[in-house]
Amino acid sequence: MTGHDVNYDTGPDMGHDTGHHAVPLRINLLVWAALMALTAITVGVTSFDFGFLNVVVALTVATTKAGLVILWFMHLRYEGRVIRLMVFTAFVILAIAIGFTFFDVAYR
Amino acid sequence: MHEHRDYEGAKIGMWLFLFTEVLLFGGLFLLYAVYLHRYPAEFHAAGKDLSRIFGTANTIVLITSSLFMALAISALQRGKVLLSQRLVLLTVALAGVFLVNKFFEWSAKISHGIYPDSPALLKLPPGEMVFFNLYYLMTGLHGIHVIIGGAVLLYGWHLMRAGRVTPEHFVFLENGGLYWHLVDLVWIYLFPLFYLVV
Amino acid sequence: MSADAHDHPNFFQPQPGTKGGIASWIFSTDHKRIGMLYLYCIVAMFLVGLTLGFLIRLELIAPGRTIMGPQTYNALFTLHGVVMIFLVVIPSIPAAFGNIFLPIQIGAEDVSFPRLNIFSWWLYVTGAVLAVVSLVTGKGAPDTGWTFYVPFSAVTTTNVDVAVVAVFILGFSSILTGLNFITTLHRLRAPGMTWTRLPLFCWSLYATGWIQVLATPVLGITVLLIFAERVLGVGLFDPSRGGDPILYQHLFWIYSHPAVYIMILPAMGVISEILPVFARKPIFGYKMIAFSSLAIAFAGSLVWAHHMFVSGMSDTAVMVFSFLTFVVAIPSAIKVFNWVSTLYKGSIRVEPPLWYALAFIFLFSIGGLTGLVLGSAGTDVHVHDTYFVVAHFHYVIFGGLGFGLFGAMHYWFPKVYGRMYDKRIANWSCLIAFVGFNILYFPMFIIGLQGMPRRYYDYLPKYAEGHFISTMGSWVLAAGLLLMFWNLWRGIRHGKPVGRNPWGAATLEWMVPSPPPHHNFDAEPVVTHGPYDYTGVKPDA
């Protein structure tokens, strides 16, 4: 058999790596600028003491940054349903592992 | 034997591999979460000893390297091979900058006698010991990933020069890029957890 | 072996124009050859683990010292666990039969990443060699048990360092197998092979693959932490350095509980293949069985702390994890009910693979139901760390996965070798092993309930009777298994040649010659019916 038998999930665009179009320069730069701005915010916020809220703010900002990287730099926005569902599953399992451990450590 | 070319399959495989990396670090993040919950004050005190300047600088370095990586992929997809090669080299160069920074940061800590199992560390309160042990483990494991990622990208650069990664067949570079962004992603969490929230 | 050997050499024979030899095996990227490499390694390791278990039982035949000292005993049960879990049970069905048959069952030429596939076998061999090295180097063989619990594993002077590196490498090997199967199932299904026409063996390997990919890395970091604890003195689990030893147990079981589904799901897949073929009717509840595989994979990730009810974790966690444990019993029960319903009113042909499948259902049901005794926190406190656990575990893993593996061997034997073993001896060996198994493990439930702790070198006279019967059983079981392996070995060399489809099965692997040719299919198959549609399918031998 030859290479033509491997692509039926996305149709007959065999031979070339053509899943999607190149991300425009403007978008890449915008994402970068947003990441820098968020870094500035998260560093700046630390000069205020909100107690435990500092952790919440820092993790919210970090997750926003992670989302930007995953969706645009890692092209997840342009991927099909299968890969998106897979990524979602992986993070759900991670959240369960960390979250359920707190059934123990938070109630000891 | 002829080569299979399954672009989509190669990407699925790469994403699955990235999940294993996420879960590998996930075990350490789990420990971090539990110990932060148990020792908030000690983590706060110990975190003040880390250099926020170094941490912020390295964050900027890694985010920018991720931008260059993304630009390199777009350039290659548009057929600008030479530009893409240069952008990959820039990415690797920034990986080097990150490691040099890290080296100075670790050296400073070690010269103050703070490293796993050191006499000075063992005199600290338990929560601070845990903090620094986690710091060395997590940034150390991340550093290893920076080295591996840099090596993979250098190999991708070599493949472009050898004409084996091309505007038609770029999945190796794209997967190498995915790996590099994951290294960035881990740092995006390590940075606030060790340098900021505490 | 087959009539058309000259035009289409089978995968045992050299490719046209090549010489063959050992290098054409150990560097092969052919999924069938890699599967065979795994199969032979796994059988060899199984015989090693069997011998170790046999010696442990021999030591326990009477109270006090019989054939070995306590330190040797500790090393032997550690090794028995490490070898059986990491070198036999976890790779077993996926790496051997999954590799050989998953691509053929979906009409593909190979897996998605053939070179990664042989790399994973090399990692397996490296891990196996390191496990052996850990025995003979350093200051004595590891004596921690296969669970490597801290604080003991962090302070013992035995050679834990090398053993945990071996486990890390074996985990990597397992991950690569799972990653390969998931990608293959997404990308390489033949035209017409929709997800609802996928054989249930493939579904079970798909679910298994996800557990391998998402759970194994946690084991990786856990054993790395043991290594860091011992070599760097990191002390994250050391209370004197602010650490919490219970967190080790959390991390360990976040992998190792899902890992029991890595072990049992593929065996369930094999049973789902065997039953409809010999009942001559479509499997009952195809969609529910496929769905329950995914449900087990997911629910299996929610219940890990039921191994830790007496560890000192919070009562809240005990209640939550005990409740969730009952949830995971549901999809397992769905499978058992569907299997029994498949047999109901079937025109059953009794053949060796069916005997093994029936043994699986019986033993797995006992193992599963006693699992509820352990999952329920109140009763677990009584039987925790007793022989009740040992019995439960062996009923699920040996009675389940083990008999599933033997069933797979007898079911696919004619396809792999193009020959048939002696069916009469196969039936006898199944019966002897089944009887021996129950004599060996059932008394353990009883002495466990009476309070006999696991892993002890010595015991009180009141447990002597149970231990004695149990050791007797180990001889019967070993005799049955040796008879089985001898019979299969003889079948490879002298068995009667068979055609493509001796059982009359409807999945794709039975459409290709026995043994399959190098590229599996002459032309890409187009699938037009489900995997258990026996209309017009007749056994050809």
Whether the CB of B137 is below 8 Å from some CB of chain C: the reply is yes
Do C362 and C435 meet the contact criterion of CB atoms below 8 Å apart? no
Q: Angle at CA C255, nearest 5°, toward B8 and C380?
A: 145
Q: What is the pLDDT of residues B96-141, one digit of tens each?
A: 999 999 999 999 999 999 999 899 999 999 999 999 999 999 999 9
Q: Provide φ and ψ at C21, rounded to 5°.
A: 90, 175
Which helix (H) or strand (E) segment is C420 a member of? strand C419-420
What ipTM, to 2 d.p.? 0.94
Domains and CATH numbers, chain C: 27-511 (1.20.210.10)
Enumerate the residues of chain B whose CB falls inside 8 A of the CB of residue A58. 192-193, 196-197
Structure-token pair, residue B23 = 């879960």
pTM above threshold 0.90: yes
Whether the CB of A100 is below 8 Å from some CB of chain C: the reply is yes
pLDDT at C21: 87
Would the pLDDT of B147 be above 60?
Answer: yes
Which helix (H) or strand (E) segment is C496 a member of? strand C496-497
Would the pLDDT of A5 be above 50?
Answer: no
Would the pLDDT of C474 be above 50?
Answer: yes
Enumerate the residues of chain C whose CB falls inside 8 A of the CB of residue B126. 240-242
Mean pLDDT of A77-93: 95
Do C463 and C385 meet the contact criterion of CB atoms below 8 Å apart? no
Would the pLDDT of B1 be above 60?
Answer: no
Q: Angle at CA C475, nearest 5°, toward C471 and C477?
A: 105
Do C106 and C190 meet the contact criterion of CB atoms below 8 Å apart? yes
Q: Give the closest-approach CA distance of A34 to chain C in angstroms.
A: 31
Q: What is the pLDDT of residues C32-46, one digit of tens each?
A: 999 999 999 999 999
Mean pLDDT of C46-62: 96
Structure-token pair, residue A32 = 């970068």
Distance of CA C218 to the CA centre of its chain: 20
Do A22 and B78 count as a contact with CB atoms less than 8 A apart? yes
Do B169 and A17 meet the contact criterion of CB atoms below 8 Å apart? yes
Domain B7-196 has CATH 1.20.120.80: yes
pLDDT at C18: 81
Cα Rg of chain A, angstroms: 20
Instruction: For residues B159 and B166, give the distance between their C-alpha atoms in angstroms, rounded to a whole number.
Output: 9
Would the pLDDT of A15 be above 60?
Answer: no
- Of A43-47, C196-200, C284-288, the poorest mean pLDDT is in A43-47
| Residue A15, Ramachandran bin (φ over 0: left; ψ between -120 and 50: alpha; else beta) | left
Q: What is the pLDDT of residues C325-368, one digit of tens each?
A: 998 889 999 999 999 999 999 999 999 999 999 999 999 999 99
Angle between helices B126-161 and B81-111 (to 10 degrees): 160
Q: Which of C183, C233, C250 sits opposite B116 (nearest CB)?
A: C233
- B50, exposed or middle or buried, with CB in 10 Å at 0-12, 13-18, 19+? buried
Q: What is the pLDDT of residues C128-166, one digit of tens each?
A: 999 989 888 888 889 898 999 999 999 888 899 999 999
Mean pLDDT of C197-226: 96
Structure-token pair, residue C501 = 């489809």
Q: Give the closest-approach CA distance of A17 to chain B in angstroms.
A: 5
Considering chain C, what is the average pLDDT of its residues? 94
- Mutation site for A-interface testing, chosen from B2, B20, B22, B30 by largest number of A Cβ within 10 Å: B30
Mean pLDDT of C79-90: 94
The residue of chain B with its CA nearest to that of A99 is B30
Would the pLDDT of A13 be above 60?
Answer: no
pLDDT at A12: 38
Mean pLDDT of C479-500: 96
Instruction: For residues C210 and B12, give the distance between their C-alpha atoms in angstroms, rounded to a whole number.
Output: 13
Domain positions in chain B are 7-196
Do B117 and C235 count as a contact with CB atoms less than 8 A apart? yes
DSSP of B143-182: HHHHHHHHHHHHHHHHHHHTTSS-SS--HHHHHHHHHHHH
Sign of the torsion angle spanned by Cα atoms C467, C469, C475, C478: negative
Enumerate the residues of chain C whose CB falls inside 8 A of the CB of residue B5. none
The residue of chain A with its CA nearest to that of B10 is A17
